[in-house]
A and B are shown apart, each in its own frame.
Chain A
Amino acid sequence: QSALTQPASVSGSPGQSITISCTGTSSDIGSYNHVSWYQQHPGKAPKLMLYDVSNRPSGVSDRFSGSKSGNTASLTISGLQAEDEADYYCSSFKTTDTYVFGTGTKVTVL
């Protein structure tokens, strides 16, 4: 099964907003709102940042927001901060009762 497609890297200056796209197919993102996003700092386990496209778990900053249109989901980080520098992965539930992750995006704070 092919991974969801994300840009390899995105960068921005502190205070700016950046958006990471995540493109799938009609068998995953296009069929369900079960899109989630994970942040991973070097050497650490992934951390859930958004679930069901745009919902934030308790404790996650409201600077993180999500949306979806068709087969593409997006994660936006507003008011970019140094601590946001990390790798980000999207994930989607699939029609085959399985899951797929995105290729991953490295966010750099300039």
Chain B
Amino acid sequence: QVQLVQSGAEVKKPGASVKVSCKASGNTVTSDYVHWVRQAPGQGLEWLGAIDPSGSRTYYAQKFQGRVTMTRDTSTSTVYMDLSSLTSQDTAIYYCAGEVGTVKYFQYWGQGSLVTVSS
């Protein structure tokens, strides 16, 4: 069973960038898409985007186009999500989630990484 382990909490100032990591333990995830989903305090889930198994193709929600970058290091089974030009509206828990093959749903999730944007 694959587990996703995410990096720890971050506190950033407005205008800065944050990079969150998501590392797979257990079986390799070379055939899995990895998605990023966030949840602001007391709010619902919001899909940010996804990266394909090879790391060569990314899919971003229109809302985050130009501000989010997802990358992948297949040698370490680690996926990264970089979000720039942060505002207080980006304060949220950021989850990575795995999609085995192209099944179009999120089968396993990381524990979440809290990103706080505050001056």
Contacts and interface: CB of A to CB of B under 8 A. Distances in A.
Contacts, number: 65
B111 A38 contact: no
Contact of A1 (B62, B109, B112): B62
B47 A97 contact: no
B107 A57 contact: yes
Given A1-B62, A51-B103, A103 B44 contact: yes
Given A97-B59, A98-B61, A99-B35, A48 B44 contact: no
Interface string B81-119: 000000000000001010000011111111110000000
Nearest to B6: A45
B45 interface: yes
* Chain A interface size, under 10 / 10 to 19 / 20 to 34 / 35 or more: 20 to 34
* Chain B interface size, under 10 / 10 to 19 / 20 to 34 / 35 or more: 20 to 34
A84 interface: no
B10 interface: no
Given A46-B95, A98-B59, A103-B44, A38 B106 contact: yes
A100 B35 CA distance: 12
* A-B pairs, 3 with minimum CB distance: A36-B105, A34-B104, A104-B44
